[in-house]
Amino acid sequence: MGKALVAGGGIGGLTAALCFHHHGWSVEVCEKSAELGEVGAGIQISPNAMKVFEALGLGDALSNAGFRPEGIQMRMGESGMRLVNTALGEAAVKRWGSPYLHIHRADLIAVLQAALHERAPNKVRLGASLDTFRREGDHITAILTNGDAMTGDVLIGADGIHSVVREQMLGPDKPIFTGNVAWRSVVPIERLGSDAPDPVACAWMGRGKHAVTYLLRGGKLANLVAVVERDDWTKESWTEPGRRKDALRDFSGWHPIVTRLIEESDTLFRWALFDRAPLDRWVEDRVAIMGDAAHPMLPFMAQGAAMAIEDAWTLAAQVSSDGPTLDALKAYEKIRFNRASGIQANSRANAATFHKRTTLDRLITYGPMWLVDKIAPQVLKKRQDPLYGHDATA
Ligand code: FAD
């Protein structure tokens, strides 16, 4: 077995390192930040991604750190009317083979970091930013901005939406601002009283906007992501605070579960949402891109990290099979391309579904959803089977 270099120590990069290690490879990760970590926000990990973590032996550690929602709901943002309520909890395990989990991003990174350190100690270089890479014989050398070099058999670009690996491979190309800005915050549940979110993942529909609420850390924290269509702010940063009064204005007249979360937030951060049209290719020679570097998507299906996690397994499994490296990388691209690109497109389409503006549009979109949920809820579950039932480790 060989050595995999991984550029980027986010959710995708750390999972890739663990997957390569699981398949018998040695690994080395370079992460440009001085420490591993994530922003103070939650993330939904659906059963398809949990299958990879379970195969890595991390299912229990993640479940212990996270929160298992009882269901997924869709509600109207202002009235709170419930459109759809799909059971999760044990029903998710029964139907899709693994649990649905909500977890604080910092807790997820901590579990991945600890597992990697235990299995492959000291293989993460921090404050180490990839600058460029070059082929040297049957190896690949990654050059860092400080002049250091790392040599391995393959280079995995898990360096996010502004990937330098993608840029060197495919040339400069800016991600596209989608016209959506996300507010997000995390609030201790005891501050919310009777307005605390139910123990479910809930998407609240509105005119040109939507919100998502869910619980973290055994139900002690509530997480809010609230997305508004606007074009006057395009900064992509998890740490850029916004003004509470602006968020309250955006969600004025909404259900108190959403507005109380905004009122009780110590800080509300704003993030301009970018994505990119599907790329022509993700691999070249001994190099592959994965996760947001390959297919950044709107968070409207909560699948960006899930796709990175699935990519990580498939990449490691293909590259560690017999045969030339380039063939293995191409097999990875072939296996993953349609799935990730389809979910990228569907995530974009969900913006239109969640943000219906006219009364007629709302009636013809949400009316049938409400009806199907009441008379044939199995239809809604069945629609999720290809997404949540997928097993990249099979
Ligand atoms: P990133 O998380 O961007 O990590 C890239 C890493 O590479 C970073 O650590 C960065 O510092 C490092 N890096 C960058 N350049 C270099 C370099 N040159 N050298 C070395 N290191 C470098 N997904 C879900 O599955 N479920 C959800 O519920 C969900 N909710 C979301 C909510 C919001 C509001 C948003 C914006 C996204 C959401 N996502 C969700 C998507 C998810 O956050 C991303 O898809 C996921 O984090 C991508 O992981 P990644 O490792 O590919 O990239």
What are the residues whose beta carbons fall under 8 Å from the beta carbon of 359, sequence distance 6 or more? none
Least confident interval from 18-22, 57-61, 253-257, 297-301? 297-301
Q: How do residues 298-332 score in pLDDT, each as one tens digit?
A: 999 999 999 999 999 999 999 999 888 999 999 99
CA of 10 to the centre of ligand 1 (A): 6
Residues 67-95 have a mean pLDDT of 95
What pLDDT is recorded for position 35?
Answer: 86
Q: Which residues line ligand 1 (CB under 6 A)?
A: 7-13, 30-33, 43-44, 129-130, 158-160, 164, 182, 184, 225, 271, 291-293, 299, 302-306, 308
Task: Compute the Cα dihedral for 90, 95, 96, 102 and give only its sign.
Answer: negative
What CA–CA distance (Å, rounded) separates 64 from 208?
Answer: 36
Q: How do residues 192-247 score in pLDDT, each as one tens digit?
A: 999 999 999 999 999 999 999 999 999 999 999 999 998 765 555 556 678 899 99
Residues 31-59 have a mean pLDDT of 93
What pLDDT is recorded for position 96?
Answer: 97
- The structure tokens listed for 62 are 């993640």
Please name the helix (run of DSSP H) or strand (run of DSSP E) that holds residue 265, with its range, or none: none
Q: Which string of b and e fits 341-361 if b means at least 16 CB within 10 Å?
A: bebbebbbebbebbbbeeeee
What CA–CA distance (Å, rounded) separates 150 from 147?
Answer: 10
Strand partners, 126: 31
| Strands, sheet with 241-242, edge to edge from the N-terminal-most edge strand | 82-87, 71-76, 201-206, 209-216, 221-229, 176-188, 268-275, 241-242
- CA distance to 88, 89, 234, 240, 393, per residue, from 380 (Å): 13, 16, 35, 37, 25
Residues 263, 268, 212: CA angle, nearest 5 degrees: 80
Residue of the CA atom closest to atom 46 of ligand 1: 305
CA of 314 to the centre of ligand 1 (A): 18
Residue of the CA atom closest to atom 45 of ligand 1: 304
Q: Which atom of ligand 1 is nearest to the CA of 305?
A: 25
Please name the helix (run of DSSP H) or strand (run of DSSP E) that holds residue 349, with its range, or none: helix 325-354
Q: Which of 100, 214, 332, 388 is catalytic?
A: 214
CA of 31 to the centre of ligand 1 (A): 12
CA of 296 to the centre of ligand 1 (A): 9
Q: Which atom of ligand 1 is nearest to the CA of 128?
A: 20
Residues 273, 274, 279: CA angle, nearest 5 degrees: 150
Report the mean per-residue pLDDT for the chain.
94
Q: How do residues 49-78 score in pLDDT, each as one tens digit?
A: 999 999 999 999 999 999 999 999 999 999
Q: Which atom of ligand 1 is nearest to the CA of 8?
A: 7
Q: What are the strands, taking DSSP E only, across 172-208?
A: 176-188, 201-206
pLDDT band at 148 (very low <50, low <70, confident <90, very high): very high
CA-closest candidate to residue 131, choices 141, 145, 116: 145
Residues 168-188 have a mean pLDDT of 91
What CA–CA distance (Å, rounded) separates 355 from 351?
Answer: 6
* Neighbouring C-beta atoms of residue 138, cutoff 10 Å: 9
Q: How do residues 96-112 score in pLDDT, each as one tens digit?
A: 999 999 999 999 999 99
214 is catalytic: yes
CA of 30 to the centre of ligand 1 (A): 15
